[in-house]
């Protein structure tokens, strides 16, 4: 957890970069556990997009992000700062798998997530994101993300401001 916190030292003030919320590691762990529990065939790339859509949609509805993660424009879409470090959170277990010639990282639930830890607004967003993308493979959700205004209007390695998430393709 200290590694994650150290990566967020520059984002300790409320801003458009963190969705006007300071990083909440326990909320993040809960969100990751939720997706691990309710999404079959969950891999690292897809999880990272689910996190972005969760934060972006929650920001759009409630005026702040759900987790406080900061996202950068990367080749495969939005990627949170500390994307490797957050995989060590206790609510998930990551298993390396060989798929053809590539190593993939499959995400499994590590312990039951207590949905009463989420507000009704949070649960509505989590459920919508999970249901919208449940059948998407990593490449499909990456391609979908590449059509978002927040991705199109930022450049490689640039932090994606949450204000660009006010317009999301087909999510309500």
Q: What digits encode the pLDDT tens for the residues 104-162?
A: 899 999 988 889 999 999 999 999 999 999 999 999 999 999 999 999 999 999 999 99
With a cut of 70, say whether residue 33 has pLDDT above it.
yes
Q: How confident is the model at residue 171 (pLDDT cuts 50, 70, 90)?
A: low
In the predicted model, what is the mean pLDDT of residues 70-93? 96
Q: Which of 37, 13, 47 is nearest to 115 (CA)?
A: 37
Decide: residue 141, CB within 10 A, 0-12 exposed, 13-18 middle, 19+ buried: buried
Q: Express as a percent the part of the chain with pLDDT over 70.
A: 99
Distance CA 141, CA 156 (A): 18
With a cut of 80, say whether residue 172 has pLDDT above it.
no
State pTM to two decimals: 0.95
The whole-number pLDDT of residue 59 equals: 97
H or E segment at 60?
helix 44-62
């Amino acid at each position: 957890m200290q590694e994650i916190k150290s990566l967020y030292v520059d984002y300790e003030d409320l801003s458009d970069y963190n969705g006007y919320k300071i990083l909440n590691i326990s909320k993040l762990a809960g969100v990751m556990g939720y997706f691990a529990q309710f999404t079959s065939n969950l891999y690292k790339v897809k999880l990272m997009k689910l996190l972005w859509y969760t934060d972006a949609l929650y920001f759009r509805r409630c005026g702040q992000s759900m987790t406080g993660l900061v996202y950068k424009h990367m080749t495969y879409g939005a990627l949170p700062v500390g994307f490797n470090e957050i995989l060590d959170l206790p609510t998930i277990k990551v298993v390396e798998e060989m798929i053809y010639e590539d190593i993939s990282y499959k995400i499994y639930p590590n312990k039951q997530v207590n949905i009463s830890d989420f507000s009704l607004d949070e649960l509505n967003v989590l459920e919508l994101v999970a249901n919208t993308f449940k059948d998407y493979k990593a490449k499909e959700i990456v391609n979908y993300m590449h059509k978002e205004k927040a991705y199109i209007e930022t450049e490689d390695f640039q932090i994606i401001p949450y204000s660009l998430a006010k317009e999301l393709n087909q999510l309500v």
